[in-house]
A and B are shown apart, each in its own frame.
Chain A
Amino acid sequence: MVFEKTLNDLVSGIRSHKRDTALFISQSIAEIKNELQSPDFFTKSNALQKLTFLQMMGYTMSWAAFAAVEVMSSPRFALKRVGYLAACQGLDQPENSPVVLLTTNLLQKELRGANVVNTTTGKGGENIYHAGLAINCLSNIATEDLGQALLTELLHMLNHPSPYIRKKALLCLYKVFLKYPQGLRLSYDKIKLCLEDPHPSVVSCAVNVITELAEKNPKNYLPLAPAFFKLLTSSANNWMLIKVVKLLGSLVPEEPRLARKLLEPLSGMVKSTHAKSLLYESVHAITLCLPYVKKADGSQPANIPNVVELCVETLRSFVSDSDQNLKYLGLVGFGSLLLSQPRVLHSHPECRGLILTCLSDEDVTIRTRALGLLKFMATKRNLVDLISQLLSHVEAASGEYRCQLVEEIIRMCSSNKYELVMDFSWYVDVLVILAGVRGIDNQGEMIAKQWMDVAWRVLPVRCYAVRRSLEILICRGPGVGGNIDDANESDRHFLPEVLPAAAWIVGEYSQLIPDGVDEEGLNTTFDASSKGPYHALIQALTAPTDAAGMNPLPCPTQAVFVQNAMKVFSAACQRNVETQNSHGMSVEKLVCSDEELHACVETLMKNLVIYAESTDPEVKERAFTSYQLLLSIGFPSSTSFATAAATASTCRGAAVTLTYLLTPEPMKPISAKAQKRLAAEGPPSPVSVRDLEKGVDWDVFWFAKEETPWFDKDGNVKGSVENISFTKQLSNSTSGEVKKEAVGTTEPIPAMQPFGDISSAVAEQVPFGNVSHMTSGASMGQAPSSSNQRVGDPFYLNSRPSPTNALFPSKGTGMEGGAVDATNAATTRFGVLTLDSGGESEEDSGMKQKKKKKKAKKIPKQRPGVAIADSDDEDDDHVPRTKRGSIGKGDRAKEFANLALVDLTTPLGEDDVMPRNEHYVVPDRPPVRPDAAHQKQKKRKKDKEKKKSSRKEKSPTAAVTGDLLGFDAMSFGAPAVAPAPLPAAAAPTPSSNPINSAFDDLLGLEMPPSVEAPAVIQADEAKARKAAKKTSKKAKKKSKQ
């Protein structure tokens, strides 16, 4: 005989195999697999025990689930326990685990077992521990089906003489309700009764459960408030009081009157209790009550200031305590107090100091909590002070906490549209400092956004923001030439997200650059060869790597840089700036010297080519466009031969063009609403072409007057527009032709209007629909065929099958009528499409409405007051439920939501009946057991019962027969006819000891017949009868009608 390793051997083995633990464990698992095959329960349970240990170490054991269930069914307690433990610890998620269903009968038997011993022998035997195990296990593996099957048993156990069982069953019920919310309505009365249990620990558990339930849907439990209020004032059990206080706290939002009532006893408790935990809980509950204490006429009760004072005092003593735990709780308490009394800290300056000292606590949990309180302390006056303190903390902080600090600083400053910030240049400075902080990568975007926001919202600070942006961009590292003080600048670091923001500000407000530079002496040399601020900036913006020449910038940043370099360049090209000199005379002054401009052009021409080779499409596109623009203005690809003056004059000549093209209307901060309105009014493009036409000086496009492959010298398009087809795959050149057309002609062209009202020459540009329909001449003849070809092609808008086309015969006439009609056709086509889809959607919505109506009809039909989670329950509540879709992983929230939907305020409807399980007896199965006759007898009896019950209440459930799962539905009939009222009825006959036949049960093959007799709770019986009578009466009425 092979001796297996025991758990102890395994543990010592793991300890002695320090080097190759994994190998040892995999060997052990292999052994365990073998051992689990053994028929011997002891071997099996030993293996399972080891496996449970390994599971704790992180090895999955869901594959042994079946073995666990087998061992669970062992008659010996010691072995059984191993099985239960394994099932609790190592099963798959219950919904996904196939073995959970197998445990139903086993658990049922165990639960019933507890009653058996107690009622027959009268003494609390060991069986209550068996049942205890089973309950414990059930609470871990509960599923909806299990809950439904075992609810009756569990409720039954609430009447068990032993408090040990009662409290366990009570707690288990909560878990069952989570999975099977309908059960709550059925058993709520029983749970309420437990609040009056003679045994305090049971009461405590009931409070636990109700607290937890009230968390989900407090409304249901308002009627219990008086009972809890009584407990609050009378109980001395701190464990329970904590829960009661919690529960009452969660009821307050539902019933504000309760808040005022609670203040008195709670503050009494604060004064009297010695237990810190209860003290804290009471204070916390008071803070929860405070938002609701207002009376109906808006006045505050007179005792509020005292209560608040008491809270502050208590919390202050917590925070100033040397015990870190109390300190933490004090801060948490302050957090919830401040939510209702935000000004409390203003009147208690000593608390402010305390909280600030917590910021430098060495415990990060405490620091984080203190940080959360700061926003309540900030005022206009102390903001600067507070932030400067925080900034000093930022330097000292590290990791996550540093990020939180930065976030908090920004949140404090930007709250309520910068309510507290008095001096925005100070805020810009703060942002620059933050942008230089290392290790806060997630906050970069936030800072960048703030920065742009401030620059474009706050006019007075714009110039300063430009200046700081210049600094960042130009001095973001040691220059390529390295003539900047290296020691000082080498550790200059800026968050990468900030760079594009800075570039955008500089570009957008490039006309402010001179002011920004003038303001103070700014070292604007980027490169040894840089000629001035503009040149330095352009150098900085077009340098393909970062200034240190180390890291290439990310592509989006490069794209922004290129664009803004051009904007800066266009600003540099401005002919002159009018400034007021000291005598009030207007003085014209060149923005930028000839040499600098020349250098700018040189740099741009040199670097844009590099960018134009970028692999990022955005960068490439922008650089290429910019480069071509410069070329078209008249710069040769190499400016080295041109004189500075010549280049400069070219630049200045092109200034208007550049400004027009590159610098649109300055961006204004408009609200989202205004933006929406704008979008609703017209085409999404902010610049309407028609408006522009008036103001456009078409001479700006002088350079476009040259002959190109597509335009002649007058800017007219070569060839005829007629052969432009949008439907055929075209070479790039022709599509380019059309695009260029708008730019290329000297007269204003209406072609770019997006829809409708289109002159004949460019009707082809209508971007919608099948354009070939509208083209005149040759293409018209082809139109029908080409459209036919595409019928059914989802890519095209009009790809609807022919019927829709047939609906609109006018299409043909439109085509014949030449170009003008063609546009009509275009509009009708467009109309067709919208109509078409509109009609469809109408139909859709119509259907939906119908559906809704159907639903609406259904709802009144629904039994009164039954709130059930899923809609499909409405109909098949009376049909035995098959296995429902399992609740997926992480659906806790859904579970809770289901539970919250349960409405306890309405009385139980007649259909709200306890689920009852009966085993389906296979009719023609060959008898396996000798006492088959006995079984048959029982079967007959059962049939009789069924008949009886059906006669009695004519419930629809009786009609359902032969159901596979044998859930013979929930009916009160059966309990009413149950022969024996006592739980003893459930006692299995000695011959069919549940333990001996446990195995058979697992497979659901056979069931001791006596178990079929339903367990009845005596107290419930009278009620059940009444209900049954009611049902039958109603049924009769119905039939009369």
Chain B
Amino acid sequence: MISFILMVNKQGQTRLSSYYEWMDMQERVALESEIIRKCLSRSELQCSFLEYRGFKVIYRRYASLFFIVGTKADFDVRVKGIASDSDNYENELGMLEFIHILVETMDRWAGSICELDIMYQLEQVHFLLDEMVMNGYVIDTNKSNILRSIDLIEREGSKNEGMFR
């Protein structure tokens, strides 16, 4: 399962984080900074997978933004027959594909997505992400399906706008 999804810019600032497994704040901050540091230090020529603290981290870089997905790493559990405290890991290439779909979806939603879009519309991006991933599992990869609900929200949001201002 996916343990966390991060979007981080080149300066190492988190732009979006979503955890599907509970971690306390200190842990999160430490984990983020460590993973970001590792991702940043890697070149284009290196593979997109990292193994870190029991997570298998799959990342992809789009312009100045890193999309980082952390899944639980495999310790060849089943082969060795060691019991089950590690999750089934996700297919690495599948995750790369997922990141790409995520970016494409966001692109379609906001024209060409950039860091600022994510910052200023955090709410919506979260919602969009929730439509794609729930509870650490990919639930939908169909762009129009995903965007249908977010469109709805925006429509409703604009309706409410008048009420408050």
Q: Which residues of A contact B (CB under 8 A)?
A: 7-8, 11, 42, 49, 52-53, 56-60, 76-78, 81-82, 85, 89, 93-94, 126, 129, 132, 135-136, 139-140, 164, 167-168, 171-172, 174-175, 201, 205, 208-209, 211-212, 215-216, 239, 242, 246, 249-250, 253, 275-277, 280-281, 288, 291, 323-325, 327-329, 335-336, 339-340, 362-363, 365-366, 368, 889, 892-893, 896-897, 900
How many angstroms between the C-alpha atoms of A327 and B153 in the bound complex? 43
A124 to chain B, nearest CB (A): 11
Q: Select the residue from B45, B47, B76, B81 with max chain A CB neighbours within 10 A.
A: B47
* B84 engages A85 (CB within 8 Å): no
State in angstroms the CA–CA spacing of A212 and B86 once bound together: 11
Q: Which residues of B contact A277 (CB under 8 A)?
A: 91-94, 97
Q: Closest B-chain residue to A892, C-beta based?
A: B85
**B76 and A339 form a contact (CB under 8 A):** yes
CA distance A129 to B19 in the complex (A): 21
Residues from chain B with Cβ under 8 Å of A325 in the complex: 47-49, 92-93, 96
B63 at the interface (CB under 8 A from A): no
Taking A42-B164, A93-B24, A239-B141 as contacts, is the C-beta distance between A365 and B120 under 8 angstroms? no
Q: Are A329 and B92 in contact (CB under 8 A)?
A: yes
* A215-B88, A362-B46 known; A78+B153 contact, CB < 8 A: yes
A52's nearest neighbour on chain B, judged by CB, is B122
Whether B108 sits at the interface, judged by CB under 8 Å, is no
Minimum CB–CB distance for A799 against chain B, Å: 45
B residues within 8 A CB of A81?
A: 123, 127, 153
Whether B88 and A211, one on each chain, are in contact in the complex, defined by CB atoms closer than 8 angstroms, is yes
From residue A276, how far is it (CB to closest CB) to chain B in Å?
A: 5
> How close is B18's CB to chain A, nearest CB, in angstroms?
7
Given contacts A216-B84, A280-B92, A363-B46, 17 further A-B contacts (CB under 8 A): A8-B120, A85-B126, A85-B127, A93-B22, A126-B152, A140-B20, A201-B140, A215-B84, A277-B94, A324-B46, A324-B48, A328-B47, A328-B92, A336-B79, A366-B47, A900-B83, A900-B84
Instruction: For the complex, give the distance between the alpha carbons of A216 and B85 in Å.
Output: 9
By a CB distance below 8 angstroms, the chain A residues around B134 are 135-136, 139, 168, 171-172
Query: Does the CB pair A336–B76 fall under 8 Å?
Result: yes
Total chain B interface residues with beta-carbon distance under 8 A = 62
Chain B residues near A281 (CB-CB < 8 A): 91
Q: Which residues of A contact B81 (CB under 8 A)?
A: 253
CA distance A366 to B43 in the complex (A): 13
* Top-4 shortest CB links A-B: A277-B93, A324-B47, A893-B85, A363-B46
Contact of A129 among B16, B28, B122, B149 (CB under 8 A): B149
Q: Specify the chain A residue showing the minimal Cβ separation from B79.
A: A339
**Do the beta carbons of B47 and A94 come within 8 Å of each other?**
no
A-B contact pairs, 20 of them (CB 8 A): A52-B123, A58-B28, A58-B29, A78-B153, A81-B127, A129-B152, A211-B88, A239-B141, A242-B91, A276-B93, A277-B94, A280-B92, A288-B78, A324-B47, A325-B49, A363-B45, A363-B47, A366-B47, A892-B21, A893-B85
Of A76, A164, A239, A362, the contact of B138 (CB 8 Å cutoff): A239
Contact of B135 with A by CB under 8 A: yes
A129 and B93 contact, CB distance less than 8 A: no
**Residues from chain A with Cβ under 8 Å of B84 in the complex:** 215-216, 893, 896-897, 900
Q: Taking the complex as formed, is B160 at the interface, i.e. its CB lies under 8 A from any CB of chain A?
A: yes
**Complex formed: what's the CA distance from A56 to B14 in Å?**
7
Chain B residue contacts of A363, Cβ below 8 A? 42, 45-47
Nearest CB of A to B13, in Å: 8
How many whole Å from A28's CB to the nearest CB in chain B? Answer: 15
CA distance A275 to B18 in the complex (A): 28
Instruction: Report B22-54 residues with CB < 8 Å from chain A CB.
Output: 22, 24-25, 28-29, 32, 42-43, 45-51
Q: Is the CB of B51 within 8 A of A365?
A: yes
Q: How far is the CA of A171 from the CA of B119 in the complex (A)?
A: 29
Shortest C-beta distance, A972 to chain B (Å), equals 30
B87 at the interface (CB under 8 A from A): yes
Partner of B18, one of A89, A135, A239: A89
Q: Which of B86-124 contact A (CB under 8 A)?
A: 87-88, 91-94, 96-97, 119-120, 122-123
Contact of B16 among A56, A208, A242, A340 (CB under 8 A): A56
Contact of B94 among A56, A172, A216, A242 (CB under 8 A): A242
* Chain B residues with CB below 8 A from A209, complex form: 137
Which residues of chain B are within 8 angstroms of A58 by Cβ–Cβ distance?
Answer: 14, 25, 28-29, 32
**Separation in Å of the A51 CB from the closest CB of chain B?**
11
Instruction: List the A side residues contacting B14 at CB < 8 Å.
Output: 56-58
Contacts of B127 in A (CB 8 A): 81, 85
Taking CB atoms, residues of chain A closer than 8 Å to B17 are: 56, 89
Q: Which residues of the other chain, A, contact B164 by a CB distance below 8 angstroms?
A: 42
Chain A residues with Cβ under 8 A from B138's Cβ? 239
Report the Cα distance A462→B98, complex, angstroms. 59
B1 close to A212 (CB less than 8 A): yes
With a CB–CB cut-off of 8 A, which chain A residues contact B119? 11
Name the residue on A nearest B157 (C-beta): A78
CB proximity of B155 to chain A, nearest CB, Å: 10
Instruction: Output the nearest chain A residue to B88 by Cβ-Cβ distance.
Output: A215
Q: For the complex, give the distance between the alpha carbons of A156 and B122 in Å.
A: 32
User: Which residues on B sit within 8 Å (CB–CB) of A897?
Assistant: 83-84
Query: A164 to B144, alpha carbons, bound, how many Å?
Result: 13
- Give A327 to B46 CA distance when docked, in angstroms: 10
Verify A253–B78 contact, CB threshold 8 A. Answer: yes
With A42-B164, A363-B42 in contact, do A246 and B88 touch (Cβ < 8 Å)? yes
If A11-B119, A42-B164, A212-B87 touch, whether A239 touches B93 (CB-CB below 8 Å) is no
* Cα-based distance from A281 to B81 in the complex (angstroms): 19
Find out whether the CB atom of B135 lies under 8 angstroms from the CB atom of A140. yes
- Taking a contact as CB atoms under 8 Å apart, the answer to whether A288 and B93 are in contact is no
Given contacts A212-B87, A325-B92, A896-B84, contact A362 B153 (CB under 8 A): no
Contact B135 A171 (CB under 8 A): yes
User: Which residues of the partner chain B approach A208 to less than 8 Å between Cβ atoms?
Assistant: 137
C-alpha spacing A165/B56, complex, angstroms:
30
Q: Least Cβ distance of B161 to chain A in Å?
A: 9
Q: Measured between C-beta atoms, what is the minimum distance from A793 to chain B in Å?
A: 46
CA distance A891 to B152 in the complex (A): 39
Once the chains are docked, how many angstroms separate the CA of A201 from the CA of B50?
30
Instruction: Find chain A residues with CB under 8 A from B45 CB.
Output: 324, 362-363
B153 lies within 8 A of A280 (CB): no
Contact B88 A212, beta carbon cutoff 8 Å: yes
In the assembly, what is the distance between CA of A1040 and CA of B43, in Å?
Answer: 79
